[in-house]
Amino acid sequence: MKTLTPLVAFVVLSTLSGCAETPAPDASGFDAELKTTLRAVATPPVLSGCGDVFVYGATSDDRRVIEVTIDDELAYTAAASFEVLEASYTLPDPRVSIVAKWGEGLTRNHCDDHWTGHPTVVGEVEAIAGQVSILIEPTGVFEPWEHSGRATIQLDHTIFESPMTGQEYTIDLELPDVMVGWYPG
């Protein structure tokens, strides 16, 4: 499970400086942001992807995102064989990462050749359990500078656990028809 770097820095600095008046991070506020993020990305208006395989769904204001990474050479395999490929995974799985984030400008550098500055991540939580299914249809193009496939990712009973309270939040989500296989850079 990933921890929040800003949160850790806040707690450590508060402890080291002995500032008894500094309030602790607000667990209910953190959980509210996590819940809001999961609701907002349930039907994300912005979908994109690249690589082998990275797909994300984000809000139109770029303040909330769910990122799915599957490191299993699926786009390459589908493109090389020119056949539809299906795979499924049960979390936790070292090949799969699903992260919900909130902040500012979260996708500004995703799947892009042009650096546009650092995103501001206020909070993030990685999924701890659930089912992930992917279907990749090859486009017929087999070049690293072109999208070699279209992916549809289905998340079923995906559980995110708040590191602040231990509360679990479950989502089901489909990220349909997203181009993958192109490598930025």
Residue 93 is predicted with a pLDDT of 98
Task: Show pLDDT as tens, one digit a residue, over the chain (185 residues).
Answer: 444 334 333 333 333 333 334 344 578 899 999 999 999 999 889 988 888 899 999 999 999 999 999 999 888 888 888 999 999 999 999 999 999 999 999 987 676 666 667 889 999 999 999 999 999 998 877 666 666 789 999 999 999 999 999 999 999 999 999 988 766 55
In a domain, 49, yes or no: yes
In a domain, 185, yes or no: no
> For residues 147 and 177, is the Cβ–Cβ distance under 8 A?
no
Residue 65: strand pairing partners: 58, 101
Residue 63 is predicted with a pLDDT of 95
Domain count, the chain: 1
In a domain, 80, yes or no: yes
- Using only the alpha carbons of the chain, give its radius of gyration: 18
In a domain, 152, yes or no: yes
H helix or E strand, kind and range, residue 34: helix 27-40
Q: ω into residue 6 within 30 of 0, thus cis? A: no
* Structural domain range at position 135: 5-180
Residue 13 is predicted with a pLDDT of 34
The number of helices, as runs of H, and strands, as runs of E, in the chain is: 3, 8
Residue 115 is predicted with a pLDDT of 67
In a domain, 164, yes or no: yes
In a domain, 133, yes or no: yes
**pTM check: above 0.85:** no
In a domain, 63, yes or no: yes
Listed as own residue / partner, the contacts of 5-13 with beta carbons closer than 8 Å and 24 or more positions apart are: 6/121, 6/122, 7/123
At 47-82, the pLDDT tens digits run 888 888 999 999 999 999 999 999 998 888 888 889
Residue 90 is predicted with a pLDDT of 98
